[in-house]
């Protein structure tokens, strides 16, 4: 059965503003933007869903390049391990494409489990990739090397999160780092995937210096490097703004709720906004914390959706080389988020043409519950 969804009267940010349009989605793709006469669809005598988006903005689904899909490591003993991410949690934040990673614990949080979790999300209708590796070098892989992981496993998009400038890193040497970057690059070249190396930056004293050294002394492309947690401290922010002018795309995580001061510093240091992305780094905080802070930042900086959306759509799709993601246009994946035009509250979320949130409520049924009477509950209070 064909899957057909018609969105009427949407004010579309693609992320550039396209005006008021109808959007026809067929088989998970955007087939047409413009005026669509539903009587023509009636004539086809196939079932289709219609949503009237009067009073709403329609945005591309967000891309989150850094999420701990199988939970966070737990750095204060076993009771501090965080549980796996769920589909409703992710889509509630307007996120429809996610890249999963492993953090400091590469032993009990292993890459095979991460791959299985990404496959689960993909089967359910989201788009999920994984970084091959983790904090440590040599990186834990699925098939023996970063390059063969990229070649053999669809979900592997690059190497990461490789820890540098951090007391928890394996203190990799520059030649070791360069070899990982080139393995990921070649794996990406052969498969048409991004093949970038996603670096975790810590509080270590060398900050971004290893990446500046890599660019200066090795045959490494700036577009192969993708460091995150750049908003961790003032020196990283300063160096991060500078490295964007070498063509390196950097990422801010939003798990500490500091997007506004981080953006302020980035602008003060004249960083290039075309080379900045945002991630949730969700494991202890919810993936939706990302969009919450985007809304706050828009108010504080008086930024339009056109200005801020690229940080979670087109910029991310470019560095990850996801050609059908991050924009609304014919041929793009039908990953769409409808928000209230006044409050920017998320009202509907569509991933690959399938509705996950409708009228603010989850309409997703986890398949396992069809044969289960489990009720999964979690309690807690953020201090």
Residue ranges that bind Zn ion, judged by CB under 5 A: 161, 200
Minimum CB separation of residue 66 from Zn ion in Å reads 7
Residue 42 catalytic? no
Strand-strand pairing, 346-351 and 29-34: unpaired
Question: To the nearest whole angstrom, how small is the minimum distance from the Cβ of residue 164 to Zn ion?
Answer: 11
Please measure the distance between the N-terminal and C-terminal CA atoms of the chain and give it in whole angstroms: 49
Q: For Zn ion, which is the closer residue by CB, 200 or 238?
A: 200
- C-alpha span between 182 and 186 (Å, rounded): 6
Residue 71: strand, helix, or coil: coil
The residue nearest Zn ion at its CB is 200
Kindly tell me which of 161 and 335 has the beta carbon lying closer to Zn ion.
161
41 φ, ψ to 5°? -70, -40
Q: Which is nearer to Zn ion, 239 or 281 (CB)?
A: 281
Task: Please report how close the Cβ of residue 201 comes to Zn ion at its closest, in angstroms.
Answer: 8
Per the listing, tokens 């091959």 go with 132
- Of 22, 166, 281, 333, which residue is the catalytic one? 281
Complex with Zn ion: residue 200 or 207, whichever CB lies closer: 200
Residue closer to Zn ion, measured from CB, 161 or 333? 161
Return the residue matching tokens 């039908």. 334
Token pair of 55 as six digits = 């009073």
Least Å distance, CB 213 to Zn ion, is: 21
Q: Is the dihedral of CA 183, 187, 188, 194 positive or negative?
A: negative
The residues near 105 (Cβ < 8 Å, ≥ 6 apart) are 73, 74, 134
Shortest Å distance, C-beta 302 to Zn ion = 31
**Residue 258 CB neighbour total at 10 angstroms:** 16
In angstroms, give the least distance from the CB of 161 to Zn ion: 5
Long-range CB contacts (< 8 A, 24+ apart) of 180-184? 180/133, 180/137, 180/139, 180/146, 181/214, 181/218, 181/220, 181/224, 181/225, 182/219, 182/220, 183/145, 183/146, 183/147, 183/159, 184/146, 184/147, 184/150, 184/158, 184/159, 184/224
Cβ nearer to Zn ion, comparing 230 with 248: 230
Q: DSSP letter for 191, please.
A: H
Going by the DSSP 8-state scheme, the letter that residue 250 receives in this structure is E
Strands 196-201 and 156-164: parallel
Write out the E strands in 134-257.
156-164, 196-201, 225-228, 250-253
For the CB of residue 54, give the shortest distance to Zn ion in the complex, in Å: 42
Of 166 and 239, the one with the shorter C-beta distance to Zn ion is 166
Among all residues, which ones are annotated catalytic?
281
């Amino acid at each position: 059965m064909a899957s057909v969804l018609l969105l009427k009267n949407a004010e579309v940010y693609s992320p550039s503003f396209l005006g008021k349009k109808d959007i026809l989605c067929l088989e998970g793709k955007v087939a047409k933007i413009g005026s669509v006469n539903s009587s023509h669809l009636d004539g086809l005598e196939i079932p289709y869903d219609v949503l009237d988006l009067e009073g709403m903005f329609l945005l591309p689904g967000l891309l989150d390049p850094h999420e701990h899909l199988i939970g966070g490591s737990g750095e204060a003993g076993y009771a501090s391990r965080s549980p796996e991410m769920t589909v409703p949690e992710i889509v509630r934040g307007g996120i429809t494409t996610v890249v999963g990673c492993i953090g400091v614990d590469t032993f009990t949080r292993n890459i095979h489990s991460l791959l299985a979790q990404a496959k689960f999300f993909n089967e359910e209708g989201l788009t999920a990739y994984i970084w091959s590796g983790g904090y440590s070098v040599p990186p834990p892989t699925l098939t023996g090397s970063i390059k063969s992981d990229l070649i053999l496993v669809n979900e592997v998009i690059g190497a990461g999160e490789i820890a540098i400038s951090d007391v928890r890193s394996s203190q990799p040497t520059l030649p070791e780092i360069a070899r990982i970057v080139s393995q990921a690059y070649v794996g990406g070249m052969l498969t048409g995937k991004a093949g970038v190396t996603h670096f975790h930056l810590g509080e270590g004293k060398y900050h971004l210096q290893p990446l500046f050294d890599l660019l200066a002394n090795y045959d490494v492309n700036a577009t192969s490097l993708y460091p995150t947690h750049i908003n961790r401290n003032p020196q990283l922010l300063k160096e991060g703004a500078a490295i964007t002018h070498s063509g390196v795309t950097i990422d801010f995580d939003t798990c500490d709720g500091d997007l506004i001061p981080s953006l302020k510093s980035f602008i003060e240091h004249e960083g290039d906004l075309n080379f900045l992305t945002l991630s949730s780094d969700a494991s202890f905080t919810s993936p939706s914390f990302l969009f919450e802070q985007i809304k706050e930042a828009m108010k504080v900086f008086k930024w339009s959706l056109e200005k801020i959306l690229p940080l979670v759509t087109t910029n991310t799709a470019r560095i990850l080389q996801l050609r059908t993601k991050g924009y609304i246009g014919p041929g793009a994946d039908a990953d769409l988020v409808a928000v209230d035009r006044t409050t920017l509250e998320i009202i509907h979320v569509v991933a690959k043409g399938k509705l996950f949130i409708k009228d603010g409520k989850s309409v997703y049924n986890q398949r396992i519950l069809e044969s289960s009477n489990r009720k999964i509950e979690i309690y807690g209070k953020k201090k």
